[in-house]
Amino acid sequence: MEKVQTDRRKFVAYSTLAMLGLVLGGGMVLSPYTLRAENRLRPPGAVPEKQFLALCIKCGQCLQVCPYHSIKLADFVSGHGVGTPYIDANERGCYACSAVPCVLACPSGALDHHCEKPADIHMGIAVLEFPDTCLAMNNTPIHKGYNAKMHDFTDSVRNVTELEEKLLTKLDSFEGKQCTLCADMCPLENPLSAIAMVPSANGGNKPEVYDGCIGCGVCQEVCPTNTPSIVVKPRVTYAAFYANQN
């Protein structure tokens, strides 16, 4: 739990600095970051954002039990809701553990205990935001070293779990192949309910998202393009996003 302790220490340090800034400014200094209403990807089972911010006691229990180190605590630099847990899908998505341990660990109701299995998770919806850069659509194989980011992330964690090691081995096996990463790494028991590779108009393939997507962010994490071609829109439903697209 070293990483968690480090996160907590960073949080305390940032909070202290923040308070100092406010005091020195006679209460007049407000960071633009605190004013930025960020739309974060919250852990599984998170209740609506306003309620979430009111209920979360910032105890860090959810991140302590996450075997993929997917959950982080927001610091002063990264926006509002300082100390609340979130998921940065560019770094590490949620792997939708079958027993959803983060929810079980939450003592406050910020993560709703009715969320008992992956199918109950509704974090957001995946969207092919940048189809022009998608390797599959351009018939471009996955370049060697695309997985350096995931290796670096794992190296930064002290208590690497067996699940994380297995994940790296699986990711390494994609190097040099045609890209199907987003579809093949979708962690759901039935990934085809969420995403599939389908023929695209230019003769390549493209990922297509379905209403089984839970918005876990794994496809965004593993997408090998510089800026992920596929991203998750937090707290948006399939119906709300795709209603106007079809």
Cβ 99 to ligand SF4 shortest distance, Å: 15
Cβ 31 to ligand SF4 shortest distance, Å: 22
**Closest by Cα among 225, 138, 212 to 181:** 225
Q: Give me the amino acid identity at 126.
A: A
C-alpha span between 122 and 165 (Å, rounded): 27
Pairing mode, if any, of strands 205-209 and 85-87?
unpaired
C-alpha span between 120 and 118 (Å, rounded): 5
**Enclosing H/E stretch for 121:** none
Number of residues lying near ligand SF4 (CB under 6 A): 40
**Among the candidate windows 16-24, 144-152, 158-166, 222-230, which touches ligand SF4 by CB under 6 A?**
222-230
**Among the candidate windows 19-27, 134-142, 158-166, 237-245, which touches ligand SF4 by CB under 6 A?**
134-142
Q: Kindly state whether residue 225 participates in binding ligand SF4, applying the rule CB under 6 A.
A: yes
With CB under 6 A as the contact rule, the residue among 41, 167, 194, 231 that binds ligand SF4 is: 194
And the tokens for 54? 């009111």
Asked if residues 183 and 139 have their Cβ atoms less than 8 Å apart, the reply is no
Q: Kindly state whether residue 45 participates in binding ligand SF4, applying the rule CB under 6 A.
A: no
- Nearer to ligand SF4 by Cβ, of 27 and 132: the residue is 132
CA angle 197, 198, 201 (to 5 degrees): 130
**Among the candidate windows 2-10, 29-37, 56-64, 157-165, which touches ligand SF4 by CB under 6 A?**
56-64
Binding positions for ligand SF4, 57-116, rule CB under 6 A: 57-62, 85, 105-106, 108, 110-111
Asked if residues 124 and 236 have their Cβ atoms less than 8 Å apart, the reply is yes
**Among the candidate windows 21-29, 155-163, 175-183, 238-246, which touches ligand SF4 by CB under 6 A?**
175-183
Measure the N-to-C terminal CA separation of the chain; round to a whole number of Å.
Answer: 46
Q: Which residues of 39-65 are buried (b: 16+ CB within 10 A; e: fewer)?
A: ebbbbbbbbebeebeebbebbbbbbbb
**Among the candidate windows 10-18, 26-34, 216-224, 237-245, which touches ligand SF4 by CB under 6 A?**
216-224
Report, in angstroms and rounded to the nearest whole number, the Rg of the chain calculated over CA atoms: 19
With CB under 6 A as the contact rule, the residue among 217, 231, 235, 236 that binds ligand SF4 is: 217
Binding site for ligand SF4 (CB under 6 A): 56-62, 85, 105-106, 108, 110-111, 126, 128, 134-136, 179, 181-182, 186, 188, 194-195, 207, 209, 213-219, 223-225, 229-230, 232
